[in-house]
Amino acid sequence: MAQGRHSVFIFGGGAREHAAAWKFDESPHVGQIYYAGPRNPGMDKLATYVGIGVTEETELANFAQAKSVDLAWVGPEQALVSGVVDMFRVRGRAIFGPTSGAAGIEGSKAFAKLLMERARIPTAPFEICHTAALARSYVRRHGVPIVVKADGLAGGKGVSVCRTEAQAEEAIVRNMIQRVNGIAGEVLVMEDLLQGEELSIHVLADRNGHVTLSSAQDHKPVGEGDTGPMTSGMGAITPVPWVTDEMMATIENQIVTPLLSALKTRELPFEGCMFPGLMMTPDGPQVLEVNCRPGDPEWQAHMRRSKSDIFEVSLACAEGRLSSVSLKWDPRTAVSLTIASGGYPGKGKPDIPIYGVHEAELVPGVMVFVAGAKFIDGQLVTGGGRELSVTALGDTLQDALNLVYKATGRISFEGMYYRHDIGQRALARMRAK
Ligand code: GLY
């Protein structure tokens, strides 16, 4: 790597990207950070905002060229699927993330399921339905419970767990007739509902190899006890205390390595961060979905534990030198808790003043990353969805949870919502051992 200070361009303006910006800012190699996407008042303290959308690949590449940006780092799947990495590669610019073709592993659930079926990677039995009539026929033949998934990107809103035929019919109508998810719901993947514990696996991959990070666990349903509609994530822990080395070895052999090699065989080598979401069933791990980017809120927790230089690691990954860097981790446990506006995952009230973030960060071990909150007239206010990600490091999972909830108790705004039971299933499983 050349000596001196380098510039980084982050795509995305959520809590995941705020956590990445914080780590880039810590790097002695990084001088200037730019970011594009929604404006983020937390990132504004670390980086220069560039008013370009994350799917405007030509404008992003023009900016990077004009500013001689040394490394681009991509968070959102929309940017990856739309081909921002391909555009940067064509221009010969370093970028962390997969090409549009490899990002298809998240961009099309049907593609991912067919790939896994052919590579014998464990995943729920499924059918791909191109019409509402075929989807209804599947429901009649299969019965419930089932999971109905929009094929394309739906911002975390494309998955419906259907326990009754009426719920399945509603999912079909919403996707295929009402088109609530746009073209993402033109094709549906219908599959068996798996039972078990969800696990998030993050893999850094370059063209020559890969490294798998510690296990993480998100809590996706909005309500306590895993009830209510699915969200993009209400809170994450890492590492997950009940996950053994043996389980990780099975995941590596049955899922991670076969996924990467199936993509490579199809001339779609995956470079960047691949994130298979798994269900740990009594019969072993099964893949629920494969994401082409870091998870949110999992990434915030991973960043709190990371003791590596994110610039060195991301650049090495973009240049196919991942094996030349070693990843270092804090041995403690990290937790990230999503603070949302009431009504999320529906539309919550925007522009409501948020208080107490500074006081929350005075709790030792706590950092708050900004998700959708905005800064208006000198006041932090709600955006109407996920607002903040409160994170903590603790010696044990219980310690980290105590810190996160203590800090969160100092934050207040009208309609503030968060789950109080993040990590509780993991603790209960450890107690039952
Ligand atoms: N936390 C789940 C996701 O990022 O998709």
Q: 79-85 long-range CB contacts below 8 Å, 24 or more apart?
A: 79/11, 79/12, 79/54, 79/55, 80/106, 80/107, 80/272, 80/292, 80/293, 81/106, 81/107, 81/153, 81/292, 82/55, 82/57, 83/57, 84/11, 84/54, 84/55, 84/57, 84/60, 85/272
Going from the Cα of 141 to the center of ligand 1, the distance in angstroms, rounded, reads 31
Atom of ligand 1 nearest to the CA of 291: 5
Render 52-113 in DSSP notation, one character per residue: --TT-HHHHHHHHHHTT-SEEEE--HHHHHHTHHHHHHHTT--EES--HHHHHHHH-HHHHH
Which pLDDT score, from 0 to 100, does residue 407 have?
98
Q: Calculate the alpha carbon distances from 407 to 336, 383, 397, 422 in Å.
A: 12, 21, 15, 14
Given ligand 1 and candidates 17, 215, 275, 389, which is best to mutate, with the most ligand atoms within 8 Å of its CB? 275
Q: What percent of the chain has pLDDT over 70?
A: 99
Atom of ligand 1 nearest to the CA of 294: 4
Going from the Cα of 13 to the center of ligand 1, the distance in angstroms, rounded, reads 15
Average pLDDT of the segment spanning 380-396:
98
Helix and strand totals (H; E) in the chain: 15, 24
Beta-bridge partners for 366: 392
Average pLDDT of the segment spanning 149-160:
92
* CA–CA separation, 47 and 65 (whole Å): 18
Atom of ligand 1 nearest to the CA of 293: 4
Which pLDDT score, from 0 to 100, does residue 45 have?
97
* CA–CA separation, 387 and 311 (whole Å): 27
* H or E stretch covering 301: helix 298-305
Given ligand 1 and candidates 109, 217, 218, which is best to mutate, with the most ligand atoms within 8 Å of its CB? 218
1 — pLDDT class (breaks 50, 70, 90): low
Other C-beta atoms closer than 10 Å to the C-beta of 148 total: 27
Task: Examine the pLDDT at 3 and tell me if it is beyond 70.
Answer: no
Going from the Cα of 276 to the center of ligand 1, the distance in angstroms, rounded, reads 10
Peptide bond preceding 28 in cis form (omega within 30 of 0): no
Q: Calculate the alpha carbon distances from 384 to 353, 406, 408 in Å.
A: 11, 23, 18
The per-residue b/e assignment along 66-83, b for 16 or more CB within 10 angstroms, e otherwise, is eeebbbbbbbbbbbbbbb
Query: Is residue 161 a contact partner of residue 145, using CB atoms and an 8 Å limit?
Result: yes
Q: What percent of the chain has pLDDT over 90?
A: 97
Taking all residues of the chain, what is their mean pLDDT, rounded to a whole number?
Answer: 97
| pTM summary value | 0.97
Going from the Cα of 254 to the center of ligand 1, the distance in angstroms, rounded, reads 22
Task: Examine the pLDDT at 413 and tell me if it is beyond 70.
Answer: yes
Task: Examine the pLDDT at 39 and tell me if it is beyond 60.
Answer: yes
156 — pLDDT class (breaks 50, 70, 90): confident
Query: Is residue 199 a contact partner of residue 216, using CB atoms and an 8 Å limit?
Result: yes
Going from the Cα of 220 to the center of ligand 1, the distance in angstroms, rounded, reads 8
Given ligand 1 and candidates 240, 291, 293, 302, which is best to mutate, with the most ligand atoms within 8 Å of its CB? 291
387 — pLDDT class (breaks 50, 70, 90): very high
Quick one: which of 194, 198, 149, 144 has its CA closest to 174? 149
Which pLDDT score, from 0 to 100, does residue 385 have?
97
Task: Examine the pLDDT at 2 and tell me if it is beyond 60.
Answer: no
pLDDT tens digits along 394-411: 999 999 999 999 999 999
390 — pLDDT class (breaks 50, 70, 90): very high
Q: Please state the φ and ψ torsions of residue 28, each to the nearest 5 degrees.
A: -65, -15
* CA–CA separation, 56 and 41 (whole Å): 22
Going from the Cα of 203 to the center of ligand 1, the distance in angstroms, rounded, reads 14
Instruction: Show the ligand 1 pocket: residues with CB < 6 angstroms.
Output: 218, 232-233, 291, 295-296, 298
Q: Calculate the alpha carbon distances from 296 to 72, 115, 146, 233, 433 in Å.
A: 19, 25, 25, 7, 29
Given ligand 1 and candidates 16, 232, 422, which is best to mutate, with the most ligand atoms within 8 Å of its CB? 232
Q: Which residues contact 140 (CB under 8 A, 6 or more apart)?
A: none
Average pLDDT of the segment spanning 125-148:
98
84 — pLDDT class (breaks 50, 70, 90): very high
Task: Examine the pLDDT at 323 and tell me if it is beyond 70.
Answer: yes
